[in-house]
Chain A
Amino acid sequence: MTPAVSGDTRAPASAPEAQSESSGIDGAAPVADSIEAATGWRSWRALGIQLGVIIAVLAALLVWLWVAPLSSTELTTLAPAALWAYTLEHLQLTLLAALLVLVIAVPLGIVLTRPRFRALNGPVLVIANIGQAAPSIGLLVLLAFWIGFGFGSAVLALVLYGVLPVLRNTMVGLQHVDQRLVEAGRGMGMTATAVLFKVELPLAVPIMLAGIRTALVLLVGTAALAAFINGGGLGILITTGVQLNLPRVLATGSILVALLALLFDWLGRVVEHVSRPKGL
C-alpha cells in the first residue's frame, strides 16, 4: 500500500520495456513512477512533521500547566479531570455533528448531481456558498433563541454549518469526473448505479475527502462557540477565561481547541492519503 512499495514493484516492469517495440512512446512512465514515489514520501514526511508539532505543543502546554503558579480558581477549572471532561464533550459535539453531516451531505450531493436534478445544481451551490459566508456565532445564537439553549441546538447549528463544505465538495468532485468515462461505462453495459459506485465515487474521493476534512476542522473550531448557548465543550474554558479575566484559562482553552483542530486535520490528511485511488 505504501508508495515506496508500489514504486519498487513497478520498477522491474519498466526494465524489459526497453526491448518492447513501442518503448520510445512510453519512456515517460518510469519517470512518472519515481515522481509519484517521491511525492508520496514527501507527503508522508509532511504528515509526520504535523503530528510531531501537535504532540510537542501539547506536551509544552501540559508542562507549562504543571509548573505555572496557578490561582485556586484556575486550579479547579484546569484540573486534569475537568480538562479531560471538556475535551470529551467537545469531541462528542464535533463527532456527532460530523456523523450527521456525512449522513446528510454525501447522499444529498450524489442525488443532486444525477441528471434528473442537474438543474438544481447551480442554485444549491449558490445557497451553500452564501451559508458558508454567514457568521457562525450568529447562526448559533439565532438557533438557540428559536429551539432553545443546550447540546441539541449546538449540534444542529454545527450540522447546518458543516453540511455546506461536504455537500459542495461532493458535488464538485462528482462533476469533475470526466463525462466520457461515465459514457464509456454506460456504453459497456454498466448500470447507472454501477457507474456511480465503481467509477464516479472512486474518482471523486480525493475532492470529497478534502471537503470532509475542511468540515471537521470547521466543526472543531465552531464547537468552541457552543459554550455560548450552554452546549458545553472546550469553549467553556474560553468564556470562563474572558468573563473572570483568567488569561491562563483562556489560553489553555484556545490552544486545546487549536490542537484538536490540527489533529482532525492530520487524521483527515492521513485518510485522504491512504484512500486516494491508485493510478490517479
Chain B
Amino acid sequence: MFETTHNSPTPHAGVVTGASILLDGVTKQYPGQKKPAVDGLTLEIPAGKTVMFVGPSGCGKTTTLKMINRLIEPSDGRIVINGDDVTKMDGDKLRRNIGYVIQAGGLFPHKTVAANIGIVPKMLGWDAQRIAARVDELLELVSLDPAIYRNRFPKELSGGQQQRVGVARALAADPPVLLMDEPFGAVDPITRQRLQDELLHIQAELQKTIVCVTHDFDEAVKLGDWIAIFNEGAQLVQYDTPERILANPANEFVENFIGAGAGLKQLTLTRVADVPLTEATVARPGDAATSVLARLDAAGHQHAVVIDERERPIQRLSRRHLARLTTVTAIPDPKLPVVSSRATLNDALDTMLVSSAGEALVTGRREVFQGVIDVTTIMAAITAAHEAAAADSTDAPVGINTTSIPLQSPGASVAGPVTA
C-alpha cells in the first residue's frame, strides 16, 4: 500500500512542482455585448507561486481564471502552460491536469468523500488501490482523519471540512496548476482563517502554481506571492507583490481597493518568527522574589516572566507585584498576552492592545517560551518592510493590457490632477 503511495508523483517538500502560465493577449467577447469581458490581457504567472486576482465584482477576474482551464473559451489570444500552447488542445484533457476549487467545495452530494477525491484519478485510469492510497494521503494533507472521513457523504461534513475535501479533490492527480474561485467565501471568518493557514502550509510543501480569485483584499495579501488588481473589463491596474502594492499603490483605485489601514495590513505580511525578539527575565515558581527583583534591576526590565517546568509561560509579574511576594507563585494567568511565533505581527499587536501590556510573550513549538515582542520591534519591522518594498521592483512578472482603455473608475480619473 505504501509502495503505491510512493510510486505516485508525490512531491518532496520545497521542490517547485508548479508550472508557469502565460496569458498572451487573451480576450473574451461575449456575443451581444458591446465591451469585451476581458480585453487583450497579457499576464505572466510564475511557476510555483500563488497569484491572487482581486477586483470589484463583474470586473472579469473570474472569466480570466476560467479561461486558464478553458471552462470559458477565449475569443482571442493564447494560453501557454509550461511552454505548451494549450489554446487548441482538448479542453477536457487539459482540465484533468489542472486542479479546480470552487466556493463551498462543489462536492458531489451523492458521492462519498473518497469517491469525490477519486474522480480525476479514476478518469486518468489509475487502479483502485492507487486511488485509495492517494485519497488517504490527501485527507492527511488537509488534516482530516481518513479512517473517519473517507466514507462520509458531503452533507455529513461542516462547511470548512467540505472545503478541505474540495482542495484535496483538486490536488488528487497532483496537477501542476491549481485554480481557485473564491475558495473560502462560504465559510465563517474563523474557519476561513484556518483554511488559509492550511493552504499556506500545503503550498509551502507542494509549491504548485496557484491562481486564486477573491474579492477580499486581506485574503489576497495573506495568501498571494503576487496580486493582480483588476478593474472593469479585466483591465490590470497593478500587478505586484503584496508588500509593494501596500507601500506604493499604483493609483487611487488601488488605494480605495486596499481600503483603510494599509499600514496595519502590512503587519499581516510578517510573522513573529521573522523579527528579532527581546530577551526577558525568566523566573520559576518557588524562586525568591528578592533574587528575581535583583535580576530585573541588572537587566533593566520591568517585568519577569514565570515559566513552568516545561518552559511554558504561566505568569507575568511586575516589579510592584514582586515586591509584595516572598517567593514566586505558580498561579496561571488566563489573560497572559501570549502569541505563537507563527502568528503575524498583526496578531501580536492585537494581543498587546487587548491585554494593554505593551509587549507579548512569544512561544514556539510545544508552547515553549522564546522571548518578548514589543511595539518598538513592530515599528522597526514596518520601516524595514517599507524600505524593502521601495528597493527591489525589477523582478515583477509581466502583466499588461495590450489594448488600453482609459480607466472607468471615477477615482482613477481624479487621481491624475491631484497627484500632478
Q: Contact check, B191 vs A278: say whether CB atoms are below 8 A apart.
A: no
State whether the Cβ of B93 lies closer than 8 Å to any Cβ in chain A: yes
**A26 & B158 in contact (Cβ 8 Å cutoff):** yes
Interface contact A203-B95, CB-CB below 8 Å: no
Does B143 belong to the interface (CB within 8 Å)? yes
Q: Does B69 contact A (CB under 8 A)?
A: yes
B8 to chain A, nearest CB (A): 18
Among the listed stretches A141-149, A151-159, A188-196, A214-222, which one makes contact with chain B, having 4 or more residues with CB under 8 Å of it? A188-196
- Count contacts on B: residues with CB < 8 A to the other chain: 41
Given contacts A180-B106, A188-B120, A194-B123, list 5 more A-B pairs with CB under 8 A.
A10-B156, A25-B158, A26-B161, A32-B155, A33-B156
Judged by a CB distance under 8 angstroms, whether A279 is at the interface is: yes
B110 interface neighbour in A22, A25, A189, A202, Cβ under 8 Å: A202
For A16, the closest partner residue in chain B by CB is: B148
Partner of B155, one of A184, A186, A198, A279: A279
CB distance from A194 to the nearest CB of B (A): 8
Query: Shortest Cβ distance from A110 into chain B, in angstroms?
Result: 18
A20 and B69 contacting across the interface, CB-CB below 8 Å: no
Q: A22-B161, A187-B100, A279-B110 are in contact. Are A17 and B148 (CB under 8 A)?
A: yes
B211 within 8 A of A: no
Q: Are B71 and A13 in touch, CB under 8 angstroms?
A: no
Contacts of A26 in B (CB 8 A): 156-158, 161
Interface pair B102/A183, CB less than 8 Å apart: yes
Query: Given the complex of chains A and B, what is the CA–CA distance between A188 and B158 in angstroms?
Result: 23
Q: Which of B71, B157, B158 has the most CB of A within 10 A?
A: B158
Instruction: Enumerate B138-165 residues with CB–CB distance to A below 8 Å.
Output: 143, 145, 147-148, 151-158, 160-161
Known: A13-B148, A181-B106. A189 touches B155 (CB 8 A): no
Q: Give chain B nearest CB distance to A237 CB in angstroms.
A: 45
Interface residue B126 (Cβ < 8 Å from any Cβ of A): no
Q: How far is the CA of A25 from the CA of B119 in the complex (A)?
A: 26
Report whether B96 and A21 are in contact in the complex, using a CB–CB cutoff of 8 Å.
no
- Which of A187, A194, A280 is in CB contact (< 8 Å) with B102? A187
Tell me how far the C-beta of B17 lies from the nearest C-beta in chain A, rounded to whole angstroms: 19
Mark A residues whose CB is within 8 Å of B.
10, 13, 16-17, 20-22, 25-26, 28-29, 32-33, 180-181, 183-191, 194, 198-199, 202-203, 277-280
In the complex, whether B112 has a CB less than 8 A from a CB of chain A is yes
**Can you name the residue of chain A whose Cβ is closest to the Cβ of B179?**
A187
Q: Is the CB–CB distance between A188 and B112 below 8 Å?
A: no
Contacts of A279 in B (CB 8 A): 109-112, 153-155
- Please state if B151 and A13 are interface contacts (CB–CB under 8 Å): yes
| Per-residue interface assignment for chain B, residues 100 to 129, with 1 indicating a CB less than 8 Å from any chain A CB and 0 otherwise | 101110111111100000011001000000
Q: Write the nearest CB–CB distance from B24 to chain A, whole angstroms.
A: 22
A29 to B158, CA, bound (A): 8
List chain B residues, Cβ under 8 A from A33: 156
Per DSSP, chain A at the interface is helix
Specify which chain A residues have a CB less than 8 angstroms from the CB of B160 in the assembled complex. 22, 25
> Contacts A13-B152, A180-B102: A186 and B158 contacting too (C-beta < 8 A)?
no
Residues A189 and B92 in contact, CB atoms below 8 Å apart: yes
A33–B153 Cα distance when bound, in Å, is: 11
**Does any Cβ of A come within 8 Å of B169's Cβ?**
yes
Closest A residue to B158 by beta carbon equals A25
Say yes or no: A188-B191 contact (C-beta < 8 A), given A25-B161, A277-B110: no
What are 5 pairs between A and B in contact, CB < 8 Å? A13-B151, A26-B161, A277-B109, A278-B110, A279-B155
- A185 to B110 alpha-carbon distance, docked (Å): 13
Docked complex Cα distance between A187 and B70 (Å): 9
Q: How near does chain B come to A269, taking the closest CB pair, in angstroms? A: 20
Compute how far the CA of A25 lies from the CA of B159 in the bound complex, rounded to whole angstroms.
9
Contacts A188-B96, A279-B112, A280-B109 given; indicate if A25 touches B151 (C-beta within 8 A).
no
Interface string of B35-75 (1 = CB under 8 A from A): 00000000000000000000000000000000001010000
**Bound form: Cα–Cα A202–B143 in Å:** 30
Which residues does chain B contribute within 8 Å of A32, judged by CB atoms? 155-156
Cα A277 to Cα B153 in complex, Å, equals 11
Could you say which of A13, A181, A186, A279 has the most chain B C-beta atoms within 10 Å of its C-beta?
A: A279
**Sorted from nearest, which 5 A-B pairs have the closest CB atoms?**
A279-B153, A189-B96, A184-B106, A187-B100, A189-B95
Q: Chain B, 73-110, contact with A by CB distance < 8 Å: what is the 0/1 string?
A: 00000000000000000001111111010111011111
Contact A188 B110 (CB under 8 A): no
Q: Which residues of B contact A187 (CB under 8 A)?
A: 69, 71, 95, 100, 102, 106, 179
Interface contact B154-A183, CB-CB below 8 Å? no
How far does the alpha carbon of A22 sit from the alpha carbon of B104 in the complex, in Å? 17
What residues of chain B lie closer than 8 Å to A186, measured between beta carbons?
A: 71, 95
Nearest CB on A from B99, distance (A): 8
Chain A residues with CB under 8 A of B147: 16
State whether B102 touches A184 (Cβ < 8 A): yes
Interface centre among A26, A187, A199 (most CB of B within 10 A): A187
